Amino acid sequence: MPAARHLTLLWPGLPWLWLRGSLTGLVLALAFGVAFDVAVVTTWIWTGLVEPPFLIALWTATAAIWLVSTASAAAAFPPPIHSARPEEADALFLKARDAYLARDWVATETRLRALLEIAPTDGEAQLLLGTLLRRVGRGAEARQALQKLSGSDSGAAWRDAIGAELRRLDADAPVPAGAVLHLAEAARPARSRNAAA
């Protein structure tokens, strides 16, 4: 697959459009497509439509666009986005999961945020963070995190779980301020037990 990425260099703007979803890449790819199509049509289909000097200028401009954009794209070719989770992130996820199961919300959130600094495209960690935020009564943050995940490629494997979490958010009644305070106080002794161990 890595070699197939370099085939995008053959069409101006395609590396940035295909590999990064860049709007500038889209504009460049469309501009080149229009210039190339006009050059082909006026050369081989409607041959009498334009004068030969204009035709030469059109082909020269099309070739110049192709050369310049291909050279600039090759010089700054976008590196692949790594989706594999590093070993350090694996260890953090396991600790975050264990803290979540132990209902240690503060430790869970701390570890998940640290994991997402290392591996920002980790869909499983983003889902667990959204679930955690919902459980502790931070519904707006949970909804934002889950909607961001559902719109990303890393959320594709978790669509059903994301939908279930969003439905739970919709069904949850507003959490009173006292309940959130109670959850924070409940997390404090668990944190001090972990510090003692």
Query: Which CATH number goes with the domain that contains 131?
Result: 1.25.40.10
Domain shared by 40 and 95, yes or no:
no
Does a structural domain hold residue 80? no
Residues of the chain with pLDDT under 70: 1-4, 78-85, 173-197
Whether residues 54 and 141 share a domain: the answer is no
pLDDT given at position 146: 92
Task: Give the end of a domain, one of 75, 107, 123.
Answer: 75
- Whole-angstrom CA distances from 37 to 58, 70, 94, 173 are 11, 18, 54, 58
Tokens of 148: 């961001």
pLDDT score at 75: 79
Q: What is the pLDDT of residues 119-153, one digit of tens each?
A: 888 889 999 999 999 999 999 999 999 998 988 87
Domain encompassing residue 36 = 2-75
Q: From CA 58, how far away is CA 77, in angstroms rounded?
A: 27
Same domain? For 91 and 64 the reply is no
Of 53, 75, 97, the residue at which a domain comes to its end is 75
Task: Report angle CA 106, 111, 116 to the nearest 5 degrees.
Answer: 125
Q: What pTM did the predictor assign?
A: 0.49
Residues 186 and 113 in one domain: yes
| Same structural domain, 36 and 126 | no
Read off the tokens for 109: 């959130």
Same domain, 60 and 10: yes
In a domain, 52, yes or no: yes
If asked whether residues 166 and 95 sit together in one domain, one would say yes
Please state the domain count of the chain.
2
Whether residue 105 is found in the same domain as residue 185:
yes
Confidence at residue 107, expressed as pLDDT on a 0 to 100 scale = 95
**Dihedral (CA of 10, 16, 20, 21) sign:** negative
pLDDT at 197: 44
Structural domain contains residue 163:
yes
Long-range contacts for 77-82 (Cβ within 8 Å, ≥24 apart)? Answer: 77/6, 77/9, 77/15, 78/15, 78/16, 78/19, 78/20, 80/2, 80/5, 80/19, 81/121, 82/121
Residue 82 is assigned to a structural domain of this protein: no
Q: Are residues 20 and 49 part of one domain?
A: yes
Q: What is d(CA 12, CA 29) in angstroms, rounded to the nearest whole number? A: 5
Whole-angstrom distance, CA of residue 58 vs CA of residue 35: 8
Tell me the C-alpha distance between 11 and 33, whole Å.
9
